[in-house]
Structure 1
Amino acid sequence: MEEHTRQKSWFSRNWPWVVPLGGCLTLIIIFFVFLGSVIFGVSKAFTNSAPYQDGLTKAQQDEYVVQMLGEPIETNGLMSGSLKFENDEGSVDISIPIKGPDGEARIYIVGTKQNDTWTYSELYVILKENNETVDLLWGEGQNKN
Structure 2
Amino acid sequence: MEDHIPQKSWFARNWGWAVPVGGCLTIIILFFIFLGSLIFGVSELISESVPYQDAIKKVNEDEYVINILGEPIETDGMMNGSLSYENNQGSADISIPIKGPKGGAELYLVGTKENDQWTYTEMYVIIEETDEQIDLLGYQQDEYNENP
Deviation of 1:119 (Å) = 0.1
What is the CA–CA distance in structure 1 between the aligned matches of 2:6 and 2:92, rounded to whole Å? 70
Deviation of 1:7 (Å) = 1.3
1:84–1:90 CA contact under 8 A, matched in 2: yes
Partner of 2:126: 126
Deviation of 1:5 (Å) = 1.1
Letter in 2 for 1:95: S
Letter in 2 for 1:69: L
| 1:102 and 2:99 aligned | no
Counterparts of 1:32-43 in structure 2, within 5 Å, are: 32-43=32-43
Runs of 5+ consecutive residues of structure 2 not aligned to the other structure? 144-148
If the length of structure 2 is used for normalisation, what is the TM-score?
0.91
Could you say what secondary structure the match of 2:19 adopts?
A: helix
Task: Give the root-mean-square deviation of aligned CA atoms.
Answer: 1.2
Give runs of ≥4 in structure 1 deviating > 3 Å: 142-145
Offset from partner CA, 1:24-73 (integer Å, 9 cap, x none)? 11111111111111111111000000111111111111001000000100
If the length of structure 1 is used for normalisation, what is the TM-score?
0.93
What is the CA–CA distance in structure 2 between the aligned matches of 1:3 and 1:123, rounded to whole Å? 84
Counterparts of 1:1-145 in structure 2, within 5 Å, are: 1-138=1-138, 145=143
